[in-house]
């Protein structure tokens, strides 16, 4: 992952722990401006996790790359995790294997973005 002051990047590689992906974003405070996003990095854990773009009924232990990407983009734009009872939202704490439901934002995700911006 890059250091602040470099280019934003989305890449794949090793991550410590059992993470599926991680997002890091940097902002600089500006008076009267909310979430002045300057840059962000996202890394998919390809050493410990498997990804697919087309989960099928035969899918086994693979994460939908578009669902994970949408979730991480939510972090880039300031969204945090939601917990139990909100499993249908993109920003739910855990990712699900072989599932595409997080490819698009749920109503709660959209409302949270609107509250930020």
pLDDT digits (tens, 9 = 90+) for 8-43: 899 999 998 889 999 998 877 767 666 677 889 999
Record the tokens describing residue 2, joined without a space: 């890059």
Mean pLDDT of the chain: 88
Phi, psi torsion values for 22, nearest 5 degrees: -140, 140
pLDDT at 114 over 80: yes
| Extents of the domains making up the chain | 9-116
SS3 15: coil
Record the tokens describing residue 8, joined without a space: 């934003």
Closest CA relative to residue 102, chosen from 79, 68, 73, 52: 68
Domain 9-116: which topology? Collagenase (Catalytic Domain) (3.40.390)
pTM, entire model: 0.86
Residue 39, strand partner residues: 26
pLDDT digits (tens, 9 = 90+) for 45-57: 999 999 999 999 8
pLDDT at 71 over 90: yes
């Amino acid at each position: 992952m890059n250091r602040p002051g470099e280019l934003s990047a989305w890449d794949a590689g090793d991550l410590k722990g059992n993470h599926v992906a991680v997002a890091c974003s940097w902002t600089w405070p500006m008076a009267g401006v909310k979430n002045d996003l300057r840059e962000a990095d996202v890394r998919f854990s390809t050493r410990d996790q498997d990804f697919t773009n087309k989960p099928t009924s035969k899918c086994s232990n693979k994460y939908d790359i578009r669902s994970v990407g949408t979730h991480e983009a939510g972090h880039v734009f300031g969204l945090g995790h939601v917990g139990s009872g909100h499993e249908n939202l993109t920003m739910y704490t855990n990712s699900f294997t072989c599932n595409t439901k997080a490819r698009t934002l749920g109503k709660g995700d959209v409302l949270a973005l609107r509250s930020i911006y």
